[in-house]
Copies of this chain bind each other. A is one copy, B any other.
Amino acid sequence: MRVTPTSSLNAGCPVMVERYEFKGRALTEKFQLELRPPGSGDNIADTDRLRQALERRSSCPVGIPLDLLKEIPTRLRQQEWKVTVTVGYYWPPGWGLKGLTARLVEVEPGFDYSGPFGVAVDLGSTTVAGYLWDLGVGRLVAAYSTFNAQVKVGEDILTRIHHAATSQGLRELQEDAVASINRVIALLARRANIRPHAITAGVISGNTTMVHLLLGLPPTNICRSPYVPVVNAPGFIPAEQIGLYIHPQALVYFLPGVGSYVGGDILAGILASGMHRQEDIGLLADIGTNGEMVLGNREWLVAAAGAAGPALEGGVISCGMRAEPGAVYKVYIDSQTGKITYQTIENEPARGICGSGVVDAIAQGLLAGIITQRGELRAPLASLVVVPAEESATGKPIELTTTDIQRFLRTKAAANAIMFTLLESVGCTLKDVKYFYAAGAFGEHLDVESAVVVGLYPDLPRENIISLGNSSLMGASLILTDLRKGQEVEEIARRVTYVEMNNSPRFMSHFTAGLFFPHTDLHLFPSVQDRLKSHT
C-alpha cells in the first residue's frame, strides 16, 4: 500500500462529503441572462438593467464594483444582450440571511455553463490542503495539499508568533502563507484544467494564529494573557486584498473562531460532525500541534484547548518525524513471538516514526506486555526497536526509549485532563458521551483501536468513534457549497462557551490520573482492561 499525505487527504474527504446532500445555494453562482435590449421608452442604464435582472434571480441586493461598471456596456452588447454573470454571496458576520448580499464578480458575453468554481482551503500550521469544487454541479474536481512554507521558520506555532514580532517577520510569514495557498490553488486549477481566474469564491479554515498570519495581523496577543486575538470573525475579504491568485473580485470567507485557541478549524470540525444538531452528546477532539476539544449537543457546546499533542507531531520523540515518505505509520507486534511488523509511508526505507506509528507501537507494546501501564519498558529491554538498524535508511535503529514513552504518556495525560475537566465543567462523565469525533489531519491517520488502547480516545463502542478526516477542509467545503452552512457556523461560534483550563484546580489531578495506560481508573476503559488482563 502506498500512502502519502496528499493521496490520503484526497481519498479521505470526498467520502465524508457524500454524507451530505448537495443542496442550497453555493457561495458563488452563475446566471445566464438574456436582457431585453434598450429601446425607446426603455432606456434605463446598462448596469441598472443588469442589476434588476440579476436581483430577480438572486433575491438579494447585488453590488457592482467600479472596475466592472466600466466593462458592462461592452460585454452586454458583444453577444446581443446575452451574458453569463457570476456573483459571490456574503453577509456581515453574525447577521445571517437577513444580511445576505451579492457582489458582481464577472460578466462574460454569451452563455457559459461551466462552473462556477470555488476553493476550500485548510490552512494548517504544517500542511495546506485545498479542494476545488465545481459549484454548478456540486462536484469535487481536484484535491491537493502541500507543506506550509512557514515551516522553515519553525514547526510550532509559538515560534512563528515570536518570529512575527521581529522586523519583517510578520510580512515574511504572511507571504509564506499566501504563497503556500497560491501553490495549492495553481495545482488545483491545473488538475481541473481551468484558469485560477475562474475560481470565484473561497473559504479558508485555519486556527486563529494561521488566519492572523495570512491576513498580516499581529498575533502577539494570542499567546500572552489574556490571550486576545485581533479578530475572531474576519468574515469575507476580497481575494485581491489577501493576495490570492483566484478572481481578484472573488470573496473569501474565513470561518470564525472562539477566542485564541479554538479557531475556525475547530468550528469547521463541529460543523462537519453535525454534533451541534444532535440530541446525543458528542465529544470532538483535534489532537495535533495542540489539543482542542468540544463537548455538547444541539442545546449546548463547551470547548477547551491545551498543550496536548506535540509528542504526536514528531520532533519530541527521539526518532520522531512528520508523516512523510519513510515514516513508520503502522506497527504490529505478535504477542506470542514478539515479532514486530511495520509499514512506512510510500513503502520507503524507514527514516523515523510518525505520530500514528508511535500510538500503534505503544498500544502494541502494551498488548504484548513489552510496555507497562506506567509507561516503562519491561526489563531487560532498553528500548522498543521498531526497525532494526540494518533495515533503516539511517543505519540506526528506529526505536522508542522509555523517555519517548514517558513523553507520549504526558501528552496523553494532558489530553485526558482536557477531556475530563471539560466533562466536569458541565457535570458530565464519559458515560454521558455517545459519540467521539476524531477531527483534524492526525485523527485521519490514527488507528482507532490503538488510540483507545493507549487511552487517548475514550473506550466507546467502536462504531461511535468517528474519524472525520480533515474536518477543517470538510467544514470549509460545506460552507462553500451551501451558504446556509456559513451562517450555521457563525451560530455555532456564538453558542460555544470556552472553558479556561488554566483556571481549573481539577486539571492537574486529572493530568496525574492520566499518567497511566490507558488510565488509572481502569473502569473507564473496560475493553482495554480485558485485553490487558493477561499482563497484570
Contact = CB atoms under 8 A, between A and B. Distances in A.
Contacts of A234: 66, 69
Contacts of A231: 45-48, 64, 69
Interface in A196-229: 215-218, 220-221, 225-229
A228 B38 contact: yes
A300 interface: no
Contact of A228 (B45, B61, B66): B45
A41 interface: yes
Interface in A168-217: 215-217
A46 B503 contact: no
Contacts of A317: none
Contacts of A221: 46, 73
SS class, residues of chain A in contact with chain B? loop
A92 B70 contact: no
Contacts of A45: 228-233, 257, 259
A500 B215 contact: no
A63 interface: yes
Interface string A227-256: 111111111010001100000000000000
Interface string A42-79: 11111110010000000001111010011011000000
Interface residues of A, number: 53
A260 interface: yes
A274 interface: no
A228 B43 contact: yes
A14 B132 CA distance: 58
A99 interface: yes
A48 B228 CA distance: 10
Contact of A500 (B40, B62, B93): B40
A224 to B, nearest CB: 11
Contacts of A43: 226-228, 259-260, 498
Nearest to A103: B92
Give how many copies assemble into the complex.
2
A91 B38 CA distance: 27
Given A40-B226, A43-B228, A228-B45, A69 B217 contact: yes
A232 B92 contact: no
Contacts of A51: 93
Given A66-B215, A260-B43, A48 B241 contact: no
A94 B47 CA distance: 13
B237 A66 contact: yes
A232 B259 CA distance: 45
A93 to B, nearest CB: 8
A212 to B, nearest CB: 10
A70 B216 contact: yes
A401 interface: no
A433 B201 CA distance: 55
Given A66-B215, A66-B237, A228 B40 contact: no
A95 interface: yes
A39 interface: yes
A146 interface: no
Given A40-B503, A45-B231, A225-B40, A92 B99 contact: no
A220 B77 CA distance: 13
Interface in A287-308: none
Nearest to A234: B69
A101 interface: yes
Nearest to A170: B70
A306 to B, nearest CB: 15
14 contacts: A40-B225, A42-B226, A43-B226, A45-B228, A45-B229, A45-B233, A46-B221, A46-B229, A62-B92, A66-B215, A66-B241, A69-B217, A70-B215, A92-B101
Interface of A: 38-48, 51, 61-64, 66, 69-70, 72-73, 92-95, 99, 101, 215-218, 220-221, 225-235, 237, 241-242, 257, 259-260, 498, 500, 503
Top 9 nearest A-B pairs (CB, nearest first) are: A61-B92, A45-B232, A47-B231, A45-B229, A38-B228, A61-B95, A43-B226, A48-B232, A38-B226
